[in-house]
Structure 1
Amino acid sequence: FYDELVTAVFPPRCCSARFNLAFLMFLGFTVVYGLRVNLSVAMVAMVNSTDPDPVPQYPWDSKTQGWLLGAFFFGYLCTQIPGGYLAGHYGGKIFLGLGVLGTAVLTLLTPLAAQWGSYWLFGLRALEGFGEGVTYPAMMALWARWAPPLERSRLMTMSGSGGSFGAFVALPLTGFICQMLGWPAVFYLCGERGKHSETDTTCPRLSSRKRFTVICRSLTREHCHGWTVPLLHMALSVPLWAIIITQMCSNWAFYTLLTSLPTYMDVILHFDLQSNGFLSSLPYLGGWMMSTLSGVAADALIERRALSVTTVRKLFTLAGLLLPSAFLVAVIYAGCNHILTVTFLTLSSTTGGFSAAGVFINQIDIAPRYAGFLLGITNTFGTIPGVVAPIVTGYFTEDHTLAGWAKVFWVAAGINASGAAIFTLFGSAKLQSWALTEEERAEAERKRSRSISH
């Protein structure tokens, strides 16, 4: 019956309204990630005292740089849960759009804040994170309503992969702009472009497709969750805590590379600014491609019933955490070999894309009704490494030696591997009882009663 409904009602995937929506989200996340990572490359130019260009430069040591690179995530932490809660109640459209627009406007003020001092720049970056914190929970809330169960993996990985693609585009572009026009131009150009990229993330075709809306929402068991949520049940949910801890572990390595890789390319491998930006972006090209393909592969396995949803999520999470750990260790033993180091870093981020179809969309499996709110919770915890990792990296690399960077990669690899073990043991994709509506709970009781009577 389910397959007949999908075939009869859902339009072809390549031109369907939900895939147009996924593409619009992809573009939105491309913009917000570009705005997020541009400081990572620009920082090299901002503190490079040997650069003869007549642009402002600042005597910030590695500790200060670490705090500034992590400042974004202090604000990002604050709006994840409120954003997920409100997006689950009102819908995600307005929050996704405002998140993009607010971050773009604040980016324009970056050169002024840097001129006023590191504390002002820290505060501005935290405000940018505050505005951008609502975007991912808003995406999850939208897909909880619009994604058919057999297309969740591909639609969500396609949307979210805009982050990796944004990093891939922004890092080399930032290096080029810094070298050609000076680092202040990065923030003026990126901020102005972001203002014009604030996207309406709802497709007009959706409002006229009543059959699609009714059936899609019924198949995903999704309704607005209202003002009350089962907080106690969530706090005691083992599968939810497995997601939280695993995302924290995975994000430690991800944010370490996102914020500190350009510095590593500059200090250890001694690449010029333009090459630095391009080579720092390669891992995100691989991550974008792998996350998109993993979503398609995961849906294919689920649709053909080759594996259970739980097994699929665990398999992709295991591959997406253990393989990057192995390649980070390989980076340590590659030393200053440019080719091997860049290759292993690229492979680490590329294989990390597997987890996009695993733990990072598991919230919609266990509780589609509260998916946006749950993503706010898991992303809040998952953002803590974004705050801590750059600061720890700054302390480890204070003496700018290869041994200090080896500590950075060992810690990231070990934390990643721990996350893989935790999700394998405790993760699940089964719909949780506390996520059911009253009608669904009553229906489940009737089925149980009938099965007992027979």
Structure 2
Amino acid sequence: MPLPSGCSINSAPLDESEDSEPLIENDAVPPQCCSARLNLAFLMFFGFSVVYGLRVNLSVAMVAMANTTDTESAQNSSVISACPRPAGSENTSDAFLQPVGIPQYPWDSETQGWLLGAFFFGYLFTQIPGGYLSGHYGGRIFLGLGVLGTAALTMLTPLAAKMGLYWLFALRALEGFGEGVTFPAMMAMWARWAPPLERSRLMTLSGSGGNFGAFVALPLTGYICQTLGWPAVFYLCGGAGCLWAVFWFAFVSDDPRTHRRISKEERDYIINSIGPQGTGHGWSVPVLPMLLSVPLWTIIITQMCSNWSYYTLLTSLPTYMNDILHFDINENGFLSALPYLGAWLCSMLSGVAADRLIERKVFSITVVRKLFTLIGLLSAAAFLMAVSYAGCSHILTVTFLTLSTTIGGVTAAGVYMNQIDIAPRYAGLLLGITNTFGTIPGVIAPIATGYFTEDRTLAGWRKVFWVAAGINVAGAVVFTIFGTGKIQPWAITEEDGAEAEKDRSRSNST
């Protein structure tokens, strides 16, 4: 394969030419088992598990924090009881009683929507700076401090709630501000650590920690709320984040060149396979070409569309389970978490499958990214529409919601890693840009859900699911038409060109 500029001797085949073999043979690849790169993926996995636990715990705890029995909604019990209660729960109350001394607050659905969306107001502002600085300095310090800072702030949630709505809103926004650097920092680190033929599996393993964290945190939050009271949720989750930070700073390095426990074989394999694209981008970046890049705007639009449905369910599903289906808080937490177990498994499997398809040259990188994005978004949309017509069937609703989020996890090997395909050196900055736009649905979706469902009826929730499904379809169409896996010309430097010429010379001499 004649290597295009910016590619190294073990780069995955690009779209222009797919009929030659990488120069590093498979038997020269150090095994992943117990390797530094796999250890990094597992530490990231647990880090993002904590991050998403910190992000979603409020959505379940809100059921226990908000006592709406004294508000006007309590006077409209016929509206609240849109669906019959599950068998054996006919005599239970919508209000969730807390241990003696634990406060509850008269927050209506609109107020809850604003509080659930507050996190994303802060999350918007640090994505791009975090990606830029991570690409220059390395992502270790930014990812570590992002998780640590968010964890420490989470422990102040009970105090902020006691002080008032504005304090709690500000605290959640500040948590988002600290956490905003984490995903761009992850992408910047993988630009230096992930060999091209292992990108999908390493990045989906680390990123799938988010779904795993949601799966664990949602039912655990319900159990803690019921046994210890909702304030304990924030103390325990925050403590877990602080503990993780100790291991992160002790064992992680920004670059394989500076890692103290990596083998020489693995270090050389990573450095040689990534080539000059695995170095920092310096202070200057091609801002104007980025702003005019169709592939970059394609990623932005598609991620915004995909995130709308994801954030709608992430922040509002426990409310739906409580207000419409009337599950108690333990059942609510478990059933709200079930979709994320499926998404976790599906995203990891999709990463392995994507790497295999690319490595064996079944499809080009572009086709693989489009295929996985199309399957994930259209399938998720279909099941969301099915939810809107499941009515009061508890079994069908839970099944369709689980299938929607599970199959939606396939997009982890599609659009969500496309930044590192089109510009490896700038991957952290690009993720900061795309995630900034992708966070806008996290702000708007919970607020829109609050408006749609103000009267707590099935008709209101049907609007929520239809809007999410339609936006998913729009994202699938955009990425299918305009998406690409090719390295963009503005991402290639003179150094990359010189390296590519050396690679071609070595290839010709052999």
Bigger drift between 199-208 and 142-151 goes to 199-208
- 1:87–1:137 Cα contact (<8 Å) kept: yes
Bigger drift between 439-448 and 296-305 goes to 439-448
- 2:117–2:446 Cα contact (<8 Å) kept: yes
CA displacement at 1:276 relative to structure 2: 0.2
CA displacement at 1:137 relative to structure 2: 0.5
- Rounded to whole Å, the distance in 2 between the matches of 1:99 and 1:121 is 19
- Rounded to whole Å, the distance in 1 between the matches of 2:64 and 2:339 is 21
Alignment of 1:301-450 (within 5 A): 301-441=357-497
- 2:30–2:269 Cα contact (<8 Å) kept: no
Quick check: which has more Rg, 1 or 2? 2
CA displacement at 1:13 relative to structure 2: 1.8
- Rounded to whole Å, the distance in 1 between the matches of 2:379 and 2:155 is 38
CA displacement at 1:195 relative to structure 2: 1.3
Question: Are 2:184 and 1:137 aligned?
Answer: yes
CA displacement at 1:203 relative to structure 2: 4.4
Work out which of the residue numbers 46, 50, 53 in structure 2 matches 1:27.
46
CA displacement at 1:217 relative to structure 2: 3.0
Work out which of the residue numbers 236, 257, 270 in structure 2 matches 1:216.
270
**Amino acid of the residue matched to residue 251 of structure 1?**
N
Distance 1:116 1:94, change over 3 A: same
Number of corresponding residues: 448
Q: Which runs of 5+ in 1 are unaligned?
A: 449-454
CA displacement at 1:15 relative to structure 2: 2.4
- Rounded to whole Å, the distance in 1 between the matches of 2:241 and 2:468 is 32
With normalisation by structure 2, the TM-score equals 0.85
Alignment of 1:238-249 (within 5 A): 238-249=294-305
- Rounded to whole Å, the distance in 1 between the matches of 2:432 and 2:265 is 30
CA displacement at 1:51 relative to structure 2: 3.5
- Rounded to whole Å, the distance in 2 between the matches of 1:7 and 1:359 is 27
- 1:9–1:212 Cα contact (<8 Å) kept: no
CA displacement at 1:265 relative to structure 2: 0.1
CA displacement at 1:439 relative to structure 2: 2.3
Distance 1:9 1:444, change over 3 A: closer
Distance 1:185 1:14, change over 3 A: same
- 1:104–1:195 Cα contact (<8 Å) kept: yes
CA displacement at 1:78 relative to structure 2: 0.6
**Amino acid of the residue matched to residue 341 of structure 2?**
L
- Rounded to whole Å, the distance in 1 between the matches of 2:404 and 2:145 is 33
- 1:173–1:277 Cα contact (<8 Å) kept: yes
> In the alignment, which residue of structure 2 is the partner of 1:102?
149
CA deviations on 1:285-304 (whole Å, 9 max, x unpaired) are 00000000000000000000
Question: Are 2:131 and 1:75 aligned?
Answer: no
CA displacement at 1:192 relative to structure 2: 1.6
**Amino acid of the residue matched to residue 213 of structure 1?**
R
> In the alignment, which residue of structure 1 is the partner of 2:229?
182
**Amino acid of the residue matched to residue 42 of structure 2?**
F
> In the alignment, which residue of structure 1 is the partner of 2:60?
41
Distance 1:203 1:7, change over 3 A: farther
Q: Give the root-mean-square deviation of aligned CA atoms.
A: 1.8
- Rounded to whole Å, the distance in 1 between the matches of 2:36 and 2:319 is 42
Q: Which runs of 5+ in 2 are unaligned?
A: 1-8, 11-21, 70-94, 505-510
- 1:146–1:213 Cα contact (<8 Å) kept: no
CA displacement at 1:9 relative to structure 2: 4.6
CA displacement at 1:4 relative to structure 2: 5.4
Bigger drift between 206-215 and 403-412 goes to 206-215
- Rounded to whole Å, the distance in 1 between the matches of 2:398 and 2:416 is 26
- SS of aligned partner of 2:244: coil
CA displacement at 1:213 relative to structure 2: 3.1
CA deviations on 1:188-212 (whole Å, 9 max, x unpaired) are 1111222112142654784443453
Quick check: which one's helix share is greater?
A: 1
CA displacement at 1:357 relative to structure 2: 0.1
Work out which of the residue numbers 273, 287, 296 in structure 1 matches 2:352.
296
CA deviations on 1:18-70 (whole Å, 9 max, x unpaired) are 11110111011001110110000000111134334332111111111000000
- SS of aligned partner of 1:197: helix
List structure 1 segments (4+ residues) > 6 angstroms apart after TM superposition.
Answer: 443-448
- Rounded to whole Å, the distance in 1 between the matches of 2:435 and 2:406 is 21
- SS of aligned partner of 1:15: coil
- Rounded to whole Å, the distance in 1 between the matches of 2:240 and 2:427 is 31
How many percent of aligned residue pairs carry the same amino acid? 72
With normalisation by structure 1, the TM-score equals 0.95
- 1:313–1:358 Cα contact (<8 Å) kept: yes
> In the alignment, which residue of structure 2 is the partner of 1:452?
none
- Rounded to whole Å, the distance in 1 between the matches of 2:433 and 2:440 is 12
Distance 1:214 1:176, change over 3 A: same
- 2:64–2:97 Cα contact (<8 Å) kept: no
**Amino acid of the residue matched to residue 285 of structure 2?**
V
Question: Are 2:96 and 1:51 aligned?
Answer: yes
Distance 1:6 1:90, change over 3 A: farther
CA deviations on 1:349-399 (whole Å, 9 max, x unpaired) are 000100000000000000001000000000000000000000000000000
CA displacement at 1:14 relative to structure 2: 2.4
**Amino acid of the residue matched to residue 5 of structure 1?**
I
> In the alignment, which residue of structure 2 is the partner of 1:451?
none
Question: Are 2:124 and 1:124 aligned?
Answer: no
CA deviations on 1:162-205 (whole Å, 9 max, x unpaired) are 00000000000000011111111111111122211214265478
**Amino acid of the residue matched to residue 338 of structure 1?**
H
- Rounded to whole Å, the distance in 1 between the matches of 2:50 and 2:332 is 21
Work out which of the residue numbers 34, 39, 44 in structure 2 matches 1:15.
34
CA deviations on 1:306-346 (whole Å, 9 max, x unpaired) are 00000000000001100000000000110110000000000
**Amino acid of the residue matched to residue 338 of structure 2?**
L
> In the alignment, which residue of structure 1 is the partner of 2:341?
285
